[in-house]
Structure 1
Amino acid sequence: MAGTDFDKAVKDVGNLADDPGNDTKLRLYALYKQATVGDVEGKRPGFTNPVGRAKYDAWAALSGTPGDQAEADYVAEVSRLTGG
Structure 2
Amino acid sequence: MSDLKTEFETAVAESKQLPEKPDNMTLLKIYALYKQASSGDADGDRPGMTDFVGRAKWDAWHNLKGQTPEQAMQAYIDLIESLK
Q: Pick the TM interval, shorter chain.
A: over 0.9
Q: Which residue of 2 aligns with 1:33?
A: 35
Q: Percent identity?
A: 46
- TM-score, with structure 2 as normaliser: 0.95
Report matched runs for 1:1-84 at 5 Å. Answer: 1=1, 2-82=4-84
> Which ranges in structure 1 are unaligned for 5 or more consecutive residues?
none
1:9-68 deviations in whole A, cap 9, x for unaligned? 000010012111100000000000000000000110011100000000000000000000
Give the aligned residue type for 1:34.
Q
Gaps of 5+ in 2: none
CA-atom RMSD, angstroms?
0.7
Give the number of aligned pairs.
Answer: 82
Inter-partner Cα distance in structure 2 for 1:22 and 1:37: 22
